[in-house]
Amino acid sequence: MKVKRTLKMIVGCLLITNLCWAGITQEGDTLPPGVVIHNAPAISHEYIGSPSIVIMPDGTYIASHDYFGKKLSDTYIYRSGDRGNSWTPIAKLESLTWATLFNRGKELYLIGISPKVTMGYGDFVVRRSLDFGRSWTEPKDEKSGLIRCGFYHCAPVPVVRHKGKYWRAMENMGQEWGWGPFSALMTSISCEADLLDAGQWNFSNEIRYDSSWKEGATAWLEGNAVVTREGEVKDILRVAYGPDDVAAMTSVSEDGKIMTFNPEKDFIKLPGAGKKFTIRYDKKSKKYWTLSNFILEKDRHNIDGGAIRNTQVLMCSDNLTEWCIKDTVLTCDQPELYGFQYVDWQFDGKDIVFVSRTAWRDKTGNPPRQHDANYMTFHRIRNFRAFSKK
């Protein structure tokens, strides 16, 4: 098993075929790249899902994950006081999955789903901590974080502040079983509101994915709330399982009530968009940034593109529709077994820090496949803006 970590590029915005990296062989070494936050032994068949990370005002990092496989429905919280070099488990939240960590000053929130069934679909809930993640509210009713009942779906995706509101994308499965096609929607709430009060939340209409829109694609999901340079709110969604470089970009009205999508013009090119990605805007570079599971040329073979997750690339864009691969952050051999996926990340000064759902060999053996992650790992991209295209 070989791990490859990139050297800093001396030119900006290269095509992937021009990238180079330093190879580090780790034959016999079971530790994955990065800092291990948690390992669920591969033999346990309890797989790590939904990694999320947030940086608190005092510089404390908080990370979270849930499980899938034999174990489901609880979320686990970890704290780092040394910028990600070491981590301590601090809390377990029952009946919470697919959750996003988000803070409003010293108030820490988890926005996710309280699952009802094996697949995880369930009620949209918000939970709050006032002690940096050690204790949390319980969503018992519409005044304490039970926002809407149903069979909703989501992932750790951005909560964006824009024009006095927080915006956060979601999907609705609409029933207790199955996988896709999901209906996309946008939620929003005043930045001054009680985020646990269901009556303060606004929901857009829902748009159900139509498989006739894109050949081979059966669903859209895990949408990102993003604000364009013109001040429009968009929901940019992963598209599965068609072409691996296509995302969908819906438009949301200023009041958050109307979502629209035109399949003739609103699919965009985004390398690796067949898997989950997170987009954020950086005011300093004046660019949008994301990490994605782009497929390297050496890995483009008969395996389904949605299952190739062994590479993470750093990309930027000026306009959300044209994306440039800046660097290869992580890559390894054997894409059928190993993967760095479902990355969630934050800006940290000159750096980007991120957490990964990582499938990697451990002392009990290999994971069954790249999808079935047995680690949550922490990573840092130093000086990420260097040499970016002007």
DSSP codes of every residue in 363-390? TTB--SSTTS--EEEEEEETTTTTT---
Domains held by the chain: number: 1
Residue 301: inside a domain, yes or no? Answer: yes
Q: Is the pLDDT of residue 6 over 50?
A: no
Tokens of 362: 């451990």
For 10, 196, 222, the CA distances from 147, given in Å and listed in that order, are 49, 7, 19
Residue 193: inside a domain, yes or no? Answer: no
Tokens of 29: 């070494």
Q: Is the pLDDT of residue 334 over 50?
A: yes
**Range 31-51 average pLDDT:** 96
Please give the residue that has the higher pLDDT: either 388 or 124: 124
| Mean pLDDT computed over every residue of the chain | 91
Round to whole Å and give the CA distance between 52 and 356.
8
* pLDDT, tens digit (0-9, with 9 covering 90-100), for 70-96: 877 899 999 999 999 999 999 999 999
Domain that holds residue 385: 270-389
pLDDT of residue 5: 42
Residue 325: inside a domain, yes or no? Answer: yes
* pLDDT, tens digit (0-9, with 9 covering 90-100), for 313-326: 999 999 999 999 99
Round to whole Å and give the CA distance between 358 and 36.
10
pLDDT of residue 13: 33
Residue 372: inside a domain, yes or no? Answer: yes
Residue 92: inside a domain, yes or no? Answer: no
Residue 356: inside a domain, yes or no? Answer: yes
**H or E segment to which residue 59 belongs:** none
Q: What is the pTM of this model?
A: 0.92
- What proportion of the chain, given as a percentage, has pLDDT over 90? 84
Half-sphere exposure of 9 (CA within 13 A, CB side): 23
What are the b/e assignments for 238-268, b being 16+ CB within 10 Å?
A: bbbbbebbbbbbbbbeeebeebebeeeebbb
For 152, 247, 263, 290, the CA distances from 269, given in Å and listed in that order, are 27, 6, 13, 13
* pLDDT, tens digit (0-9, with 9 covering 90-100), for 240-298: 988 899 999 999 999 999 999 999 999 999 999 999 999 999 999 999 999 999 999 98
Round to whole Å and give the CA distance between 259 and 234.
9
Residue 319: inside a domain, yes or no? Answer: yes
How does strand 146-153 pair with strand 351-359? unpaired
Residues with Cβ within 8 Å of residue 53, at least 6 apart in sequence: 61, 62, 63, 64, 101, 344, 345, 346, 353, 354, 355, 378
Residue 144: inside a domain, yes or no? Answer: no
**Range 51-71 average pLDDT:** 95
Is residue 301 very low, low, confident or very high in pLDDT (cuts 50, 70, 90)? confident
